[in-house]
Structure 1
Amino acid sequence: MKEYILKTMDDGHVITVRDVQMVLLEMLKMIDKISKDYDIPYYLVGGSALGAIRHKGFIPWDDDADIAMMREDYEKFLKILPVALPEGYMFQCFDTHQEYTVTIPAMKIRKKHTYVKEANTLLANKCQDGDGLFIDVFIIDYVSEHKAVDLIHRIGNDALMPLITLCENLHMNPLGLKKLFVNHAKRYGEKAKGSPLIGYDLTWTFYSPFKPIVYPKSMIYPTRYVPFEDTMLPVPNKAEEYLKIEIGETYMQYPAEKDQQPKHIIDIKL
């Protein structure tokens, strides 16, 4: 297997993508145990789901891990984490950290005594209590079956995103805008409850509002466990159909070799 080096230390020791993946794997196992102990469904998304189906584990060059859960499950997760999270881990989200960047995934679960700096400055950590290696937690909401209704709501949050980012880059904390951004997403999900369609909640604005990533809830639930490295982790019930929407019809094909590179981490300490 090719070795993807993320950092070379002064003494010649290297930190590789595989080193990061092994830490992330332990974190995923920990989250999975909490999920089972407290009956909180979740599933792998994005590159993590693709890795599960195409590689039966991590994509060899992938340097992060992503999970998602329905909003009602996220709310329960948020309540139990302070007691359920083992020693050595912490979590950050807007509910607990007002400086949290609301335009990134809803929560980060971090491993203490590690450090990571992300390549994308829009995703930079603003919280002062930890920069550890993390797993992103996305909220999934119900979305309207009517494309015009969905578009109107998405455009509203898409307009707020650059304003919030600008303020944060000017070292301001636009609490009012952030609360509006988060609450609008939550209200839309509640209003659309009962719809057969679900998707990333409106705080995730990195997809075009004209081509949102949405899918039938029946495509996701009940989730199913598949092999992932040396364990079993949950993916959407119809993961293959889900990946066609999330990644594309050719999801089983490897990208060009020049694109087989880690892209999230620019500095790391394990």
Structure 2
Amino acid sequence: MSHLIQLTSNELKLIQRKNLEIAKYFVRFCKEHDLRVYVFAGACLGAIRHKGFIPWDDDIDLCMPAPDYKKLLEIWERYADTERYSLCVQTRSYNDHHLSDSIRDNNTTFIIEASVDADTNQGVALDFGPLHAAANSRIGRMFQLMCACGCSLFKAGRLPNRQNKVVYILSKILLGIFRGESVRFFIWSTLEKLATLPDRKYEEAKYVKEFSMFPFITWLYPKEWFDKSVWVPFEDTEMPLPIGCREYLSKRYSNYMELPPEESRHPEHRIVFMDLENSYKKYRGIQYFKNLKRG
């Protein structure tokens, strides 16, 4: 196992500051191009409960309705500051083994255990992903869930953490059978196309869902919660939250204004190496992708 960094309070603040810098840019970009985007998950909770970061959190998550996400992919290279920021989406040639897409700061280094062996962008990441239209029928939603689960497994290409034994064993068997990267890409890209078919009528959908990890991949949210934004204080700026943010937080965290136990107050990322002042490219073959063959 790689040696992991234990963050000091000052290091955590520096990471938060860099995340906020990326978020400001991305939210401004979305606003300029009329794209809906919302602070999501723990960052949404932090915005409501702490008016900024959860004190021990080390990232910001965002989500977008599927039509806006699709438009983002089409315009990013044309209008974004691609010298500074990269839009990292899983493809045949690029896979950083994360379920979320990300906007990464090319001038930084933030290597986590899950991607230390990958030859990918290792800059500080702002994670985001689309909210997909849920299928209308129960059978359709079951089919969509099965496709989304398979897509997530083969896109990540690694055994799931914090899952029950049955899910873990089944995942291990499937990953053991389908080992090649090309085969895995074919599987997850095909399953993703099938799972996202309801997006063709996104605005008519009653519910939306995220394709992430359990149990969230099984959940449905009323689409109206994510139709519009409300701007709230977040550190030294304002960030857009979904109009149904409090209903969403109640579903995800139950009594969301209550602090968790002390032992749960820690950053989620398992950090191997970081340098917030220098590009990850400086450390290729040294701190990550160490199996690089030098000619």
Both structures adopt the same fold (TM-score exceeding 0.5): yes
**Paired residues of 1:56 and 1:227 also in contact (CA < 8 A):** yes
**Paired residues of 2:63 and 2:130 also in contact (CA < 8 A):** yes
Q: Distance in 1 between the 2:60 and 2:110 partners?
A: 13
CA 1:168–1:265 in structure 2 vs 1: closer, same or farther (change >3 Å)?
farther
Could you tell me which residue of structure 2 aligns to residue 11 of structure 1? none
Between structures 1 and 2, the one with greater helix share: 2
Could you tell me which residue of structure 1 aligns to residue 190 of structure 2? 180
Q: For residues 59-138 of structure 1, what are the structure 2 equivalents within 5 Å? A: 59-86=54-81, 87-94=83-90, 98-100=93-95, 104-105=99-100, 107-119=101-113, 121=114, 124=115, 128-138=119-129
Q: Distance in 1 between the 2:15 and 2:53 partners?
A: 11
1:131-173 CA distance string (max 9 Å, x none): 1010111111111344443123212332454456237995734
Could you tell me which residue of structure 2 aligns to residue 242 of structure 1? 248
Q: Distance in 2 between the 1:171 and 1:269 partners?
A: 32
1:102-152 CA distance string (max 9 Å, x none): 7611x2110012122224x3xx37763521010111111111344443123
Q: Distance in 2 between the 1:226 and 1:99 partners?
A: 35
CA 1:127–1:70 in structure 2 vs 1: closer, same or farther (change >3 Å)?
farther
Aligned to 1:34, which of 29, 33, 41? 29
SS in 2 for 1:116: strand
Tell me which amino acid in the other structure corresponds to 1:115: T
In the alignment of these two chains, the number of paired residues is 251
Query: Per-residue deviation at 1:76?
Result: 0.9
Aligned to 1:252, which of 232, 239, 257? 257
Query: Per-residue deviation at 1:90?
Result: 1.0
Q: Distance in 1 between the 2:131 and 2:72 partners?
A: 13
Could you tell me which residue of structure 2 aligns to residue 207 of structure 1? 214
Query: Per-residue deviation at 1:79?
Result: 1.6
Q: Distance in 2 between the 1:168 and 1:16 partners?
A: 41
Q: Runs of 4+ in structure 1 displaced over 6 angstroms?
A: none
Q: Distance in 1 between the 2:7 and 2:243 partners?
A: 37
Could you tell me which residue of structure 2 aligns to residue 58 of structure 1? 53
Give identity over the alignment, percent: 25
Query: Per-residue deviation at 1:176?
Result: 1.1
**Paired residues of 2:39 and 2:61 also in contact (CA < 8 A):** yes
Query: Per-residue deviation at 1:59?
Result: 0.4
Q: Does 1:24 align with 2:19?
A: yes
TM-score if structure 2 supplies the norm length? 0.76
Which 5+ residue runs of structure 2 have no aligned equivalent?
A: 158-174, 277-295
Which 5+ residue runs of structure 1 have no aligned equivalent?
A: 9-13
Q: Distance in 1 between the 2:94 and 2:30 partners?
A: 27
1:26-80 CA distance string (max 9 Å, x none): 1111011101111111001100100111110010111111111011101111122
**Paired residues of 1:116 and 1:265 also in contact (CA < 8 A):** no
TM-score if structure 1 supplies the norm length? 0.82
Report the more deviating stretch, 20-29 or 182-191. Answer: 182-191
CA 1:74–1:223 in structure 2 vs 1: closer, same or farther (change >3 Å)?
same
Tell me which amino acid in the other structure corresponds to 1:207: F
Tell me which amino acid in the other structure corresponds to 2:264: D
